[in-house]
Amino acid sequence: MTLPASPPISMVDLANETRHTIGGFGIPHDDVKRLLGLPRSHPGPISLMDCLGKTRPWWGLVPVKKVTLGSPVTTTWYTWLQADGGLADAVDPYFGNVPIIAIQSTISAAESGSILSFDGDPGFRNNIKAQLLNNDFSVVREVVYTFDSVGVYWRSAQLPGGDTSTCLFLSEGNQFVNLIKL
pTM over the 0.85 mark: yes
- Supply the pLDDT for residue 82: 87
- What pLDDT shows up at residue 149? 81
Dihedral sign for Cα atoms in the order 177, 36, 26, 91: negative
Radius of gyration of the chain (CA): 18
What per-residue confidence (pLDDT) applies to 52? 96
Q: What confidence score (pLDDT) does residue 135 get?
A: 94
Could you tell me if 64 and 170 are in contact, meaning their C-beta atoms sit under 8 angstroms apart? no
Average pLDDT per run of 10 along the chain, which is 182 residues long?
A: 90 89 79 91 91 92 92 88 77 87 93 93 93 94 93 90 93 94 93
Domain ranges within the chain, ordered by starting residue: 11-51, 58-181
Nearest Cα neighbor of 76 from 115, 111, 116 is 111
Pairing of strands 113-118, 153-155: antiparallel
